[in-house]
Chain A
Amino acid sequence: DTEVTQTPKHLVMGMTNKKSLKCEQHMGHRAMYWYKQKAKKPPELMFVYSYEKLSINESVPSRFSPECPNSSLLNLHLHALQPEDSALYLCASSQDVGTSDWTGELFFGEGSRLTVL
């Protein structure tokens, strides 16, 4: 199984809503990532979890709250978002940096397309 599964594929929410994006992988990867991608732009790193602990937070606003309940799951909780937060949110996983043959290759999910009204 070399898949990263994200749900939902599409989400429309108002600025006062609370919603969550979910990501799951069963490749035994211990590093998981959230990226944000706007149209015609490259993916931008938001968060990295390593062994279920937050390793990197790229100065992301607190209205985005990540959670890693276990080694296979990664959530992104959304609250009080702005219209400019509308984007494709990509989850990815990789082997952890401590692995001897680590290259850092990322396995991406298909993304959750978020629209904030």
Chain B
Amino acid sequence: GQNIDQPTEMTATEGAIVQINCTYQTSGFNGLFWYQQHAGEAPTFLSYNVLDGLEEKGRFSSFLSRSKGYSYLLLKELQMKDSASYLCAVRAGAGSYQLTFGKGTKLSVIP
């Protein structure tokens, strides 16, 4: 089976740094995605990790440790518009269309 855990809610201050963790236990692993979803809108792609290590993209970075079944999304210089849900998703098999999403972490950025 597939199990993906992430915190339900987090609050952080504008201008600060926040780290959103994701742990997974899946039957197979072929990549981990982070998506951002504002309320009432579609998810938008943030990052993709398939090898261990850190991927940096502007204010957003994502880290993966396959041996630990662990990833995090790091958001720097938080802005009010970063208030959204952040979804961790795992692709279990090579050539698989199926992404299993975690329940999402609702991030609230406060002044």
Contact = CB atoms under 8 A, between A and B. Distances in A.
A110 B37 CA distance: 10
Interface in A75-97: 90, 94, 97
A15 interface: no
Contact of A108 (B31, B44, B50, B97): B44
B101 A43 contact: yes
A101 to B, nearest CB: 12
A55 interface: yes
A103 B45 CA distance: 12
Interface residues of B, number: 22
Nearest to A50: B97
A12 interface: no
Q: How large is the interface on A (under 10, 10 to 19, 20 to 34, 35 or more residues)?
A: 20 to 34
A61 interface: no
Given A45-B98, A108-B43, 13 more contacts: A33-B97, A42-B89, A43-B87, A45-B99, A50-B97, A56-B97, A90-B43, A94-B97, A97-B95, A104-B96, A104-B99, A105-B45, A110-B42
Interface of B: 31, 33, 35, 41-45, 48, 50, 87, 89, 91, 95-99, 101-104
Interface of A: 4, 31, 33, 40-45, 48, 50, 55-56, 90, 94, 97, 103-111
